[in-house]
Structure 1
Amino acid sequence: MAKILFVLTGADHWTLADGTKHPTGFWAEEVASPYEVFRAAGHDVVVATPGGVVPTVDRGSLAPEVNGGEEGARKVAQTLAAIAGIQHPIALEDVALDEYDAVFYPGGHGPMEDLAVSADSGALLTRALRSGRPLGVVCHGPAALLAARDEDGGSPFAGYRLTGFTNVEETQAGLAGQAKWLLQDRLVELGADFQEGEPWAPHVVVDRNLVTGQNPASSAPLAAALLEKLA
């Protein structure tokens, strides 16, 4: 049985270019689907957030239209309610990486607000990458990679093949024109080899111990890929 750390955003908004605070948080499917995969395999999940704050779910991610209908929306909500760690997260700053067998960062626009500039999260990601532990990051979760630094100030993720929420998807979601920056652009700027798949379709990229997913539909396949590495 493995112990998997879920690092969730603590933000409940995303500040847009004009200063507007767009309500957000974590994306429900990107937490619920991997949790179900890991628990079905007998693994434990621990939730951490910056400061140990109770994370906010993006209300839009609970809507039937993004969960395949009413039944899917109910299932996602029920899964989130069953994850005790969401209501009682540990502080990211207190995480001891040696206690965990794998690390997973779900998305939602929240990471664009806090994890993208969190030195504590960046340090954890750098250690996790170097440790060889399976490290999974999905959708907007790769925003957290922007805060990771090598001793020389560069990114430890430079040169890695990876993916994340694309400019096309952000445009189709209606927020690209309002954003201060776009995730795909920033990941390319840090030196990553960004792999873009079809919009909204499952797309997972594996490079060494790093497993990344492009969008919400990629979260369950990403969790399956992490399980293979844990095995």
Structure 2
Amino acid sequence: MPGLRPDPALPQRSGRDGHRAGSPRPCTGTAAREPPAGPRPSRFAVAFGEPRPGRRTSGRALKDARLDDYDAVYYPGGHGPMEDLAFDADSGKLLVDALASGKPLAVVCHAPAALLATRDADGTSPFAGYRITGFTNDEEEAVGLASKAKWLMEDEVKKLGVEFSCGPIWQPYTVVDRNLYTGQNPASAGPLAQELLKVLT
């Protein structure tokens, strides 16, 4: 969406701190990166939405991502997850597997929309009962997009049975529940990265 950007703060920050980010995607035709020689840094699986037409991509397809190859999973925000990851079975499996593994799983801004793909045939999600945050209806109203959206992330994610909380709009706010790390908005991406790096260093 114009004017709003994803929140890839974790890969940028982690790169400076000696961690590397892989980029599994729900699209096909992307090449997997080979790990560098030398000491092994922590590896992040970073899930992004479909690239814009004509944009070059790298990383591996989500369906080919192996959780064993990563120490943590990070889903950046932006409206993209509402368009594709919310309905992507491969993304849903990665999230379910990451949660069950006990490895750190970080989701920020609009990315909790991806949790909708974790529902089973009965509509039950393993994220039910977890405390989370994400981009709020009030923030969506403030940017003037609530009335244009097909659905609002906060409303739909609450239907999973999660305990949704939030701070003041545009202010950093993070929630940690077991191995799940969530951030409310773009301002929360940096603090969320710091929380995640605490358990990886």
Deviations 1:142-186 (A, max 9, x none): 100010135754111111000000000000010101212111111
Tell me if 1:44 matches 2:14.
no
Give 1:27 deviation, angstroms: 2.3
Q: 2:142 aligns with which of 156, 160, 172?
A: 172
By how many angstroms is 1:55 displaced? 2.6
CA 1:151 to 1:180, structure 2 compared with 1: closer, same or farther past 3 Å? closer
Q: What is the TM-score normalised by the length of structure 1?
A: 0.72
Hey, what does 2:5 align to over in structure 1? 27
Paired with 2:149 and 2:170, the residues of 1 have a C-alpha distance of 19
Provide the residue aligned with 1:7 in structure 2: none
CA contact (8 A) 2:106 2:181 kept: yes
Tell me, yes or no, if the aligned pair for 1:25 and 1:108 is still in contact at 8 Å: no
**CA distance change for structure 1 residues 25 and 111 in 2, over 3 Å: closer, same or farther?**
farther
Residue 55 of structure 1 aligns with which residue?
Answer: 51
- Structure 2 distance, partners of 1:153, 1:164, is 21
Cα pair 1:108 1:139 within 8 Å, conserved: yes
Q: Check the 8 A contact 2:170/2:187 in 1, yes or no.
A: yes
Q: Give 1:49 deviation, angstroms.
A: 1.1
Q: How many residues align?
A: 179
Identity %: 56
Work out whether 1:103 is the aligned partner of 2:73: yes
Task: Select the structure that is richer in helix.
Answer: 1
Amino acid at match of 1:191: G
Unaligned runs of 5+ in 2: 31-49
- Taking structure 1 as reference, are residues 26 and 98 closer, same or farther at Cα in structure 2, changes over 3 Å only? farther
Query: 2:25·2:60 contact (CA, 8 Å) conserved in 1?
Result: yes
What RMSD, in angstroms, separates the aligned Cα atoms of the two structures? 2.1
Distance 2:123 2:79 in 1: 26
Equivalent residue number for residue 80 of structure 1: none
> Secondary structure of 2:107's partner?
strand
- Measured in 2, the distance between the counterparts of 1:167 and 1:26 equals 15
